[in-house]
Amino acid sequence: MLLDERKQELVWFLYRHQNMKPSAIADALKSTYGISVGNKQISNILNRVAHGQVRRHRRLESGRPLTSCSPDNSAMVCDAVEDEPIVPATVIAKRTGIPRTSVQRILKKRGFKLVSKASSSVSVAYLIITLQVRVHCVNEKQQKNRAECCQRLLPKLNDEFMKRIVFSDEKLFLISPPRNSNTGVIRDAYGPP
Cα 15 to Cα 69: distance, rounded to the nearest angstrom: 30
pLDDT at 136: 53
Measured in degrees and rounded to the nearest 5, phi and psi for residue 167 equal: -85, 140
Residue 30 lies in a domain: yes
Residue 121 lies in a domain: yes
pLDDT at 39: 80
Same domain, 53 and 82: no
Residue 65 lies in a domain: no
Residue 120 lies in a domain: yes
Same domain, 86 and 152: yes
Residue 178 lies in a domain: no
Say which residues have a Cβ less than 8 Å from residue 119's Cβ, sequence separation at least 6. Answer: 125
Cα 118 to Cα 150: distance, rounded to the nearest angstrom: 20
Number of domains in the chain: 2
Cα 125 to Cα 189: distance, rounded to the nearest angstrom: 12
For residue 59, the SS3 value is coil
Range of the domain at 29: 5-58
Same domain, 106 and 45: no
Per-residue pLDDT of the chain (193 residues; tens, 9 = 90+): 456 676 777 777 777 766 778 888 888 878 877 777 788 888 887 777 777 665 544 445 555 555 677 788 888 888 888 787 777 888 888 888 888 888 888 888 877 766 654 444 444 444 444 444 444 566 788 778 878 877 877 777 766 766 666 655 555 544 455 555 565 555 454 444 4
Same domain, 35 and 11: yes
